[in-house]
Amino acid sequence: MRPKVYIAWRIPDEIEAYLAEHCSLRKWKGETPIRYEELKDELKDAEGLLLGEGRIDAELLEQAPHLRVVSTISNGYNNLDIEAMKHRGVIGTNNPGISNESVADLVLGLALAAARKIVKLDRYVKEGCWTRGIDSSWYGLDVHHSTIGIIGMGGIGQEVAKRAKAGFDMKVLYYNRSRRPEVEHRLGAEYCSLEELLTQSDFIVVMLPLTAQTEHLIGDRHFDLMKPSAVLINASRGSIVNERALVEALRARKISAAALDVYEFEPVNPDHPLLNMDNVITLPHVGSATAKTRFNMVMSAARNLVAALKGETPPFLIREFKESVQN
């Protein structure tokens, strides 16, 4: 008997065909992402789950007695209750590294868009407001030869540093839990404290995983340290930045702009004050959203799932489950 797998995300036909060679499939057919209660109902006999988004917790696992593997398409996995999964004997896989370059591309795009007021000026032209020559209110910030501070020098942070250095001749500062001498040598980055990074950087890029230690890492006192001309860019996890503090900093002009691809709660509430600020660029969590990268992420998730269901060690086993597999 082939293992039963539930696909909770719309995936390319080619990848579905690959899974069908190894597994008995059922899939979500809705146009919108599957909701928690619906997912709970669908997992009663599933041994494997291919997950796009949504939380996996103890309550859901109680309704999935046969579940052995959760293969998430994403790199981040803060939506998985690791301890609850380990308690039930369920392992998890993710896809580190596959989206690094696409996310880094977006970060530099956000830096340019925020610095040169591209979104605001595009709207200005389309609304018929361009009736005279250049106004000083249209002036932006130079990206070239400026200073970028990267909080979190993992794979994506390194790709951002590479683009900033090679493409815009930027000075690269970074703050990381541990110093990375090889990165400093290879990319010309300079290690500094978080406080030094915040006071010196023109562009501050948040590139950290969400953990108990990083939640609300950036708050009121940190915005007080930033330059009034600074631009904050977050394309990692929304809860690393305290959004209340960010809104207050923007209103008080403690920083000049923010460019966000992630939020504390997603989808972001349409009434959120950030959406009504003309010095904030907001995107719907699309850091990895290129056709090639998304295909590669889904294919990798499928391979992880098949390997795990065969009893093999999957290519990208989440590190917290490595001991479980070895035992």
Each residue's pLDDT, cut to its tens digit, for the chain (327 residues) gives: 899 999 999 999 999 999 999 999 999 998 888 999 999 999 999 999 999 999 999 999 999 999 999 999 999 999 999 999 999 999 999 999 999 999 999 999 999 999 999 999 999 999 999 998 888 999 999 999 999 999 999 999 999 999 999 999 999 999 999 999 999 999 999 999 999 999 999 999 999 999 999 999 999 999 999 999 999 999 999 999 999 999 999 999 999 999 999 999 999 999 999 999 999 999 999 999 999 999 999 999 999 999 999 999 999 999 999 877 765
Residues 164 and 195 in one domain: yes
Q: Could you list the residue range(s) of the whole structural domain that residue 60 is in? A: 4-98+291-326
Residues 127 and 274 in one domain: yes
Residues 109 and 87 in one domain: no
Provide the annotated active-site residues. 237, 266, 285
Q: What is the pLDDT of residue 327?
A: 58
Residues in the chain: 327
CB 256 within 8 A of CB 230: yes
Residues 38 and 114 in one domain: no
CA-wise closest residue to 51 among 323, 180, 67: 67
Q: What is the pLDDT of residue 48?
A: 98
Residues 34 and 109 in one domain: no
Residues 121 and 244 in one domain: yes
Contacts of residue 273, defined as CB under 8 A and 6 or more positions apart, other chains included, come to 247
Using CA atoms, how far apart are residues 22 and 216, in angstroms rounded to an integer? 43
Q: What is the pLDDT of residue 314?
A: 97
CA-wise closest residue to 8 among 58, 60, 59, 78: 60
> What is the three-class DSSP state of 75?
coil
Sheet holding 280-282, edge to edge: 190-191, 171-175, 147-151, 203-206, 231-234, 257-260, 280-282
State which H helix or E strand residue 307 sits in: helix 291-309
Sheet holding 69-72, edge to edge: 24-27, 4-7, 48-51, 69-72, 91-93
Q: What is the pLDDT of residue 135?
A: 87
Residues 170 and 268 in one domain: yes
Residues 104 and 78 in one domain: no
Q: Considering its fold, how many domains does the chain have in total?
A: 2
Q: What is the pLDDT of residue 326?
A: 63
Contacts of residue 42, defined as CB under 8 A and 6 or more positions apart, other chains included, come to 6, 8, 26, 28, 34
CA-wise closest residue to 155 among 102, 108, 110, 197: 102
Residues 156 and 53 in one domain: no
Residues 76 and 116 in one domain: no
For the record, the structure tokens of 205 come out as 């890029």
Residues 246 and 301 in one domain: no
Q: Is the peptide bond before 267 cis (omega within 30 degrees of 0)?
A: yes
Q: What is the pLDDT of residue 243?
A: 98
Q: What is the CATH number of the domain that holds 106?
A: 3.40.50.720
Contacts of residue 57, defined as CB under 8 A and 6 or more positions apart, other chains included, come to 81, 84
Q: What is the pLDDT of residue 279?
A: 96
Count of Cβ atoms closer than 10 Å to residue 315 Cβ: 12
Looking from the CA of 164 toward its CB, the CA atoms found within 13 Å total: 33
Residues 118 and 56 in one domain: no
